[in-house]
Structure 1
């Protein structure tokens, strides 16, 4: 009897680090029977970062190469925040390995009147206040300054945390894309998310109520339901 291979998801974390994806990855594997890959971006979590790996497009190509080396096909790439930007860039790579992309409160585009909140100089508590619908549910922050992962993030994105060419380039995406957005996000608001989706041909936009910038942490069940339909 033939058995279907499990769908593979590549989960791409944002500036908060890979731990922001771990629990959701476990939930996705359990509920959907999926194979889940949740790597740490080079330079995050104390990992080394190759000198030549400096920009978002280069990091996207790094992950496409990883999928090639693993011989995976039919991969759904799901990214949150900075990881959403990466997912968009991977979708633009037009790799035969990737069949769909999911952008969850992504950053990277420039939308008139809806800038990305500049978190440089924010304490972890201030970042959480902007990232959660209910900051009381956020983990207790440790330290007073930006985390090493935030510094790694700026190293990839630059201080603006955006690419002025990305919004126009998204018109070249040719795979299905689902854009999901926590409506209470104060890092990138819902109007920003709608503009992100509108730039991608045939994309689907799903708002997530009572949710901030990190749906996979704040409302994982709702995110999973929206993802799997």
Structure 2
């Protein structure tokens, strides 16, 4: 099974979407970088049609210098869903993509079926501060992104799944600019996000690796207590790249999206 590419113009932004699989639609939103790629989606492709857009300015999508906060991405994605012709897709978000998915569900939850938040960013609770990756030396990043550093290291220069070093560096520079635009309004989150979560009407699964050093798993209960129809799935022995460290996470997400408990 191979990934297909869809290219759309959304509000004058060249938007690239990778898609794979057959079945009910899943819109999957990546985090603040595209380092770990999209291979994890193969674990859902036998049951779902997975749509994996690159956010404006990330991966293969074109730049969007007008973006000045997460709300611009919410509107972009709602228009993207309409352009793709998706009717109540499931919604999955990882890290920054989890924050994005949560805001989308808070304002337009009726447009989606089930919701999965995988180590979501955005709350910034003072009692649950994770690691600021911008202050971590590049060579140390793998051990912050995965509990078993070798899992994350394979996506970095010299790793078996990494692009050539010059491509890796160019991608990080491009995505850093796009991330800076998203952070212009309130940084990596929103001060009122916690107030909005109760509006989410969707059945929600909150997934977290219990060794996550980027977004602490102790936050899981904060999200679960705020989202009415939610449950948590804390995965032992894995970090921020939970789906890459333990592929059974992807199976559990698929079971939940298929209607399981």
TM range, smaller chain: 0.7 to 0.9
Is the alpha carbon distance of 1:44 and 1:122 closer, same or farther for their aligned partners in structure 2, counting shifts above 3 Å? same
| CA distance in structure 1 between the aligned counterparts of 2:137 and 2:60, rounded to whole angstroms | 19
Q: Deviations over 1:103-152 (max 9, x none)?
A: 00110112231124211132333222111111122234236989223443
Among 100, 103, 106, the alignment partner of 2:114 is 100
> Contact 1:60 / 1:89 at 8 angstroms: preserved in 2?
yes
| CA distance in structure 1 between the aligned counterparts of 2:251 and 2:183, rounded to whole angstroms | 28
Residue 201 (structure 1) aligned with residue 243 (structure 2)? no
Q: Deviations over 1:71-109 (max 9, x none)?
A: 211311101111111110110122543112110011011
| CA distance in structure 2 between the aligned counterparts of 1:226 and 1:68, rounded to whole angstroms | 24
Residue 136 (structure 1) aligned with residue 153 (structure 2)? no
Residue 170 (structure 1) aligned with residue 187 (structure 2)? no
Among 25, 43, 50, the alignment partner of 2:41 is 25
Structure 1 residue ranges without an equivalent (≥5): none
> Contact 1:68 / 1:97 at 8 angstroms: preserved in 2?
no
Q: TM-score, normalised by structure 2?
A: 0.77
Among 219, 236, 251, the alignment partner of 1:224 is 251
DSSP 3-state at the match of 1:93 = helix
Q: Deviations over 1:41-92 (max 9, x none)?
A: 1111264322332211220221111112222113111011111111101101
Runs (4+) of structure 1 exceeding 6 A deviation are 143-146
| CA distance in structure 1 between the aligned counterparts of 2:112 and 2:248, rounded to whole angstroms | 25
Equivalent in the alignment of 1:156? 182
Is the alpha carbon distance of 1:122 and 1:193 closer, same or farther for their aligned partners in structure 2, counting shifts above 3 Å? same
| CA distance in structure 2 between the aligned counterparts of 1:50 and 1:150, rounded to whole angstroms | 13
Q: TM-score, normalised by structure 1?
A: 0.87
Shift of 1:194: 2.0
Residue 180 (structure 1) aligned with residue 194 (structure 2)? no
Shift of 1:226: 4.5
> Contact 2:142 / 2:150 at 8 angstroms: preserved in 1?
no
Structure 2 residue ranges without an equivalent (≥5): 1-21, 158-164
| Comparing 177-186 and 51-60, the one that deviates more | 51-60
Is the alpha carbon distance of 1:215 and 1:192 closer, same or farther for their aligned partners in structure 2, counting shifts above 3 Å? same
* 1:11-90 equivalent positions in 2, closer than 5 A: 11-17=28-34, 20-30=36-46, 32=47, 34-45=48-59, 47-90=61-104
Number of residue-to-residue matches in the alignment: 222
| CA distance in structure 1 between the aligned counterparts of 2:54 and 2:245, rounded to whole angstroms | 21
State the Cα RMSD in Å. 2.4
